[in-house]
């Protein structure tokens, strides 16, 4: 039978709570805490601007199947985040809060999933403690504030692990129905694939598989490999990929080989770091809670269930960090799926050390306050000192840009411009589009160049060489986005806006010396 320990000493960290809040109250509190600062700063470039810009293009075009970057097919990532962001933007308008709503909901869902799992298999004190630790962990808090894919896929991966673990624990410690949890495991893994690709299923399989091996209970693999679940997974995850392959014959090779295998094993992508990079980064980004990890091992569990749980969370934490340490390309958000495991381990340590200073309420709440100040203070400071750019220019120009005007950028691609302008037209980009030089760096040029390969004709119209600048300016009323370096070649144009190094000019053909062939 399942062992539940509710009689925690009054001096324990959360043992003095006489009334445990319901899941609904916990969810509202978590969402309110995370959302309170989500509106304070403009979209970060390039990541937030890129992903929200793709969602805006999806919404304005009405094509919800093919993600596009500058109206060209963009297959770096699957569509789930774009779908959710487009829905939020349609409902709430083009603003930062709406753009970040899917991430906020994913983070809230992750916290609630961890709360429900630990309340079922550990104690109510552990469940509440884990939520407090999780939402005040700087890495998790920051991830919940960014409109990108990391928190969404972390929620899907974590949910799949927790549901699979629920099945395993039900079979090992308590005979009760587990089909519903197993169904959710496959559905969440499918959503993880639609959120970011194969890691949506690979990481839950890795964590749970390693756990079963160390538990020496491989018979449960047969319980987890379930034909109806496989069918559920295929029903959710496969149709979009099949449709894209039918429409674009090079899609599967580009998406799975180039953006999965090559990115994992290759070294020509952004964020190159040594193997050990995530160790110190994870410790620093989860302070002050990471300092309590040694105490999660200091006391042996008194029962088999607690031992199984601690083993699960340690495997979860280590597997995620090691997995993402293998590729040369490393970004902080990749290890977000490890934060729920950290939170659970720290909360379990507080409860198991209830009679020592580690588990005393004053120590737990003091660290919670310090962590909360680090999170909120860091985000407020980042918002205050964030350098305004594209959003400021767009605010100045929005009322002046006509539906039939052209947008042109020189040696840059302002990802969030169309979102802030509420613009329907694509952006023509002037640059050197030589393939040899472009493919050397993993940046916006490479993204646009690769997108153009799926729509060659549109790419020819939008990605222009420097020699085509005059012809582009003479083709209609054009808003030109450039920098201080472009003053000389745009001397005949009227400067209309400026923000730091970003400058906007207006080109109107009657004011330009255009020959008949150039108009």
User: Within 10 Å of residue 259's Cβ, how many Cβ atoms?
Assistant: 18
* Residue 223 exposure: Cα atoms within 13 Å on the Cβ side: 23
Q: Which residue has the higher pLDDT, 307 or 299?
A: 307
How much is the pLDDT for 15? 42
**Contact of 236 with 194, CB cutoff 8 Å:** yes
Q: Quote the pTM value.
A: 0.91
**Contact of 199 with 79, CB cutoff 8 Å:** no
Digit-coded pLDDT (tens) for 399-457: 899 889 999 999 999 999 999 999 999 999 999 988 787 877 878 999 999 999 999 99
Spatial distance between the Cα atoms of 188 and 237, rounded to a whole number of angstroms: 10
Digit-coded pLDDT (tens) for 39-73: 888 998 888 999 999 999 999 999 999 999 999 99
491-513: average pLDDT = 81
Domain ranges in the chain are 42-297+311-349+372-384, 390-511
Spatial distance between the Cα atoms of 315 and 12, rounded to a whole number of angstroms: 27
How much is the pLDDT for 382? 84
317-336: average pLDDT = 91
190-209: average pLDDT = 96
In this structure, of 146-160, 174-188, 374-388, the range with the lowest mean pLDDT score is 374-388
Spatial distance between the Cα atoms of 369 and 374, rounded to a whole number of angstroms: 9
User: Within 10 Å of residue 441's Cβ, how many Cβ atoms?
Assistant: 12
How much is the pLDDT for 9? 37
The mean of the pLDDT values for the chain is 88
Q: Which residue has the tokens 């680090």?
A: 374
Interior CA angle at 512 toward 509 and 514, to 5°? Answer: 80
Among residues 319, 313, 320, 305, which one has the least CA distance to residue 345?
Answer: 313
**Best-predicted range by mean pLDDT among 111-115, 415-419, 463-467?**
111-115
In this structure, of 1-15, 118-132, 385-399, 408-422, the range with the lowest mean pLDDT score is 1-15
Q: Indicate the pLDDT class of residue 517, thresholds 50, 70 and 90.
A: very low
Percentage of the chain lying above the pLDDT 70 cut: 92
How much is the pLDDT for 499? 81
Q: Is 323 helix (H, G, I), strand (E, B) or coil?
A: helix
**Contact of 394 with 420, CB cutoff 8 Å:** yes
Q: Is 516 helix (H, G, I), strand (E, B) or coil?
A: coil
90-106: average pLDDT = 94
**Contact of 11 with 18, CB cutoff 8 Å:** no
Q: What is the secondary structure of 164-230 as a DSSP string?
A: HHHHHHHHHH-----HHHHHHHHHHHHHHHHHHSTHHHHHHHHHHHHHHHHHT-TTHHHHHS-HHHH
Query: In a 10 Å sphere around its CB, with 0-12 CB exposed, 13-18 middle and 19+ buried, how is residue 457 labelled?
Result: exposed
User: Within 10 Å of residue 254's Cβ, how many Cβ atoms?
Assistant: 17
280-301: average pLDDT = 87
Strand ordering across the sheet containing 406-410: 463-464, 427-430, 406-410, 478-483, 502-507, 494-499
Q: Indicate the pLDDT class of residue 207, thresholds 50, 70 and 90.
A: very high
Q: Which residue has the tokens 């393939």?
A: 435
Among residues 43, 47, 69, which one has the least CA distance to residue 58?
Answer: 69
Helices (H) and strands (E) in the chain, counts: 23, 8
Q: Indicate the pLDDT class of residue 3, thresholds 50, 70 and 90.
A: very low
Task: Tell me the CA distances in angstroms from 503 to 3, 125, 342, 410, 479, one per residue in order.
Answer: 66, 55, 46, 10, 10
Whether the pLDDT of residue 486 is over 60: the answer is: yes
Whether the pLDDT of residue 304 is over 50: the answer is: yes
Q: Which two tokens stand for residue 112?
A: 């609630």
311-329: average pLDDT = 93
How much is the pLDDT for 361? 83
How much is the pLDDT for 13? 42
Q: Indicate the pLDDT class of residue 512, thresholds 50, 70 and 90.
A: low
CA dihedral 490, 491, 497, 500 (to 10 degrees): 80
How much is the pLDDT for 10? 34
Spatial distance between the Cα atoms of 502 and 371, rounded to a whole number of angstroms: 37
In this structure, of 12-21, 202-211, 265-274, the range with the lowest mean pLDDT score is 12-21
C-alpha torsion sign, points 333, 76, 387, 398: negative
Q: Indicate the pLDDT class of residue 1, thresholds 50, 70 and 90.
A: very low
Q: Which residue has the higher pLDDT, 472 or 233?
A: 233
How much is the pLDDT for 8? 36
**Best-predicted range by mean pLDDT among 195-204, 473-482, 488-497?**
195-204
Q: Indicate the pLDDT class of residue 173, thresholds 50, 70 and 90.
A: confident
268-278: average pLDDT = 78
Q: Indicate the pLDDT class of residue 295, thresholds 50, 70 and 90.
A: confident
Whether the pLDDT of residue 347 is over 90: the answer is: yes
Whether the pLDDT of residue 219 is over 90: the answer is: no
Q: Which residue has the higher pLDDT, 349 or 383?
A: 349
Whether the pLDDT of residue 135 is over 90: the answer is: yes
How much is the pLDDT for 12? 40
């Amino acid at each position: 039978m399942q062992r539940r320990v509710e009689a925690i000493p009054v001096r324990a960290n959360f043992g003095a709570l006489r009334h445990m809040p319901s899941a609904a109250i916990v969810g509202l509190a978590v969402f309110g805490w995370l959302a309170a600062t989500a509106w304070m700063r403009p979209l970060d470039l390039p990541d937030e601007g890129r992903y929200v810009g793709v969602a805006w293009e999806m919404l304005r075009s009405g094509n919800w199947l093919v993600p596009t970057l500058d109206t060209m097919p963009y297959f770096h990532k699957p569509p789930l985040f774009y779908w959710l962001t487009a829905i939020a933007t349609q409902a709430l308008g083009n603003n930062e809060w709406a753009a970040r709503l899917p991430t906020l909901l994913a983070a809230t869902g992750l916290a609630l999933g961890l709360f429900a799992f630990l309340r079922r298999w550990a104690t109510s004190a552990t469940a509440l403690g884990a939520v407090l630790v999780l939402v005040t962990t700087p890495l998790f808090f920051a991830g919940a504030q960014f409109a990108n894919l990391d928190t969404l896929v972390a929620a899907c991966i974590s949910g799949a692990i927790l549901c699979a673990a629920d099945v395993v624990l039900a079979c090992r410690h308590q005979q009760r129905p587990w089909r519903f949890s197993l169904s959710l495991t496959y559905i969440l893994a499918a959503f993880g694939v639609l959120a970011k690709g194969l890691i949506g299923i690979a990481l839950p399989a890795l964590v749970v598989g390693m756990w079963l091996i160390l538990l020496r209970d491989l018979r449960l693999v047969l319980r987890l490999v379930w034909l109806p679940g496989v069918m559920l997974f295929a029903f959710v995850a496969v149709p979009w990929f099949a449709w894209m392959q039918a429409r674009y014959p090079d899609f599967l090779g580009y998406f799975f080989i180039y953006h999965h295998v090559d990115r994992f094993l290759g070294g020509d992508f952004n964020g190159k770091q040594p193997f050990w990079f995530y160790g110190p980064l994870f410790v620093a980004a989860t302070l002050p809670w990471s300092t309590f990890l040694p105490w999660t091992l200091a006391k042996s569990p008194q029962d088999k269930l607690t031992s199984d749980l601690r083993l699960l969370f340690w495997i979860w934490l280590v597997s995620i960090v090691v997995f993402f340490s293998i590729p040369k390309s490393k970004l902080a958000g990749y290890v977000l799926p490890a934060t729920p495991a950290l939170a659970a381990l720290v909360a379990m340590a507080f409860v198991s050390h209830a009679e020592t200073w580690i588990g005393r309420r004053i120590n737990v709440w003091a660290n919670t306050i310090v962590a909360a100040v680090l999170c909120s203070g860091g985000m407020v400071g980042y918002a205050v000192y964030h350098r305004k750019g594209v959003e400021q220019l767009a605010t100045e120009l929005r009322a002046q840009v006509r539906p039939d005007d052209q947008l042109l950028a020189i040696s840059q691609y302002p990802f969030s411009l169309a979102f802030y302008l509420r613009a329907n037209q694509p952006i023509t980009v002037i640059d050197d589009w030589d393939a040899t030089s472009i493919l050397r760096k993993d940046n916006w040029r490479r993204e646009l160049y690769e997108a153009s390969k799926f729509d060659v004709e549109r790419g020819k119209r939008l990605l222009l060489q420097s020699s085509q600048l005059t012809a582009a300016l003479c083709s209609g009323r054009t808003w030109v986005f450039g920098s201080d370096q472009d003053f000389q070649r745009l001397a005949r144009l009227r400067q209309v806006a400026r923000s730091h190094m970003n400058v906007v000019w207006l080109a109107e053909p009657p004011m330009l010396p255009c020959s008949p062939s150039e108009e």
